[in-house]
C-alpha cells in the first residue's frame, strides 16, 4: 500500500530564513506533486516531478525528487509572509491511465515577520 509521510507537520519560521519540507513515500511511483492550500481554499499546483533527480524552481520555492530514496524535498529560500499556507505533497499510484494521487498530511507553514 502506498503511503506518503510529510514532515514537519507544522513549521513556524522567520522571514528571511531558509527551510526544507520533506516528503517520503513507501512504494515506487513515477510522479510526485507539490500543492499549496490557503485556508478554506482549493489546492494550487506548484510542481510536478516526473523523473529521478528532477529539480524545479519557482520564486523562493524549489522542489526535488530522489526516486531511489523515495524522497522529495520542498526548499524555501528567504521566506516571506506570503508563503504562509499549508503545503501538500502527493504521489501518483503507479500504473493505469487515471491520475489517482495519495496525499501526505500536509505541512502548515507560518512565516513570522
Partner 1 sequence: SQTIHQWPATLVQPVGSPLSLECTVEGTSNPNLYWYRQAAGRGLQLLFYSVGIGQISSEVPQNLSASRPQDRQFILSSKKLLLSDSGFYLCAWSLLRTQGGEKLFFGSGTQLSVL
Residues that bind partner 1 (CB under 8 A): 4, 31, 33, 40-43, 45, 48, 50, 88, 90, 92, 96-106
Q: How far apart are CA 6 and CA 50, in angstroms?
A: 19
C-alpha angle with apex 69: 65 to 61, nearest 5 degrees? 25
Q: Grid coordinates representing 19?
A: 527551510
State the minimum distance, in angstroms, from the CB of residue 15 to partner 1. Answer: 25
Choose between 104 and 111: whose C-beta lies nearer to partner 1.
104
Q: What is the smallest separation between the CB atom of 70 and partner 1, expressed in angstroms? A: 17
Q: What is the DSSP letter of 93?
A: P
Strands (E) across 1-113 are located at 4-7, 10-14, 19-25, 32-37, 43-49, 55-58, 61-66, 71-76, 85-92, 101-103, 107-112
Our CB check for partner 1 shows the closer of 43 and 80 to be: 43
Q: Which is nearer to partner 1, 48 or 71 (CB)?
A: 48
C-alpha cell at 100: 489517482
In whole angstroms, the minimum distance from the beta carbon of 76 to partner 1 comes to: 20
**Min. distance of Cβ 44 from partner 1 in angstroms?**
8
Nearer to partner 1, 42 or 113 (CB): 42
Amino acid at each position: 500500500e502506498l503511503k506518503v509521510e510529510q514532515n514537519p507537520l507544522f513549521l513556524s519560521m522567520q522571514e528571511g530564513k531558509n527551510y526544507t519540507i520533506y516528503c517520503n513515500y513507501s512504494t515506487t511511483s513515477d510522479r510526485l506533486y507539490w500543492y499549496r492550500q490557503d485556508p478554506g481554499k482549493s489546492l494550487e499546483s506548484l510542481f510536478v516531478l516526473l523523473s529521478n533527480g528532477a529539480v524545479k524552481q519557482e520564486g523562493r520555492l524549489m522542489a526535488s525528487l530522489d526516486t531511489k530514496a523515495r524522497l522529495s524535498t520542498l526548499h524555501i529560500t528567504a521566506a516571506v509572509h506570503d508563503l504562509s499556507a499549508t503545503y501538500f505533497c502527493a504521489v501518483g499510484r503507479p500504473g493505469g491511465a487515471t491520475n489517482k494521487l495519495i496525499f501526505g498530511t500536509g505541512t502548515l507553514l507560518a512565516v513570522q515577520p
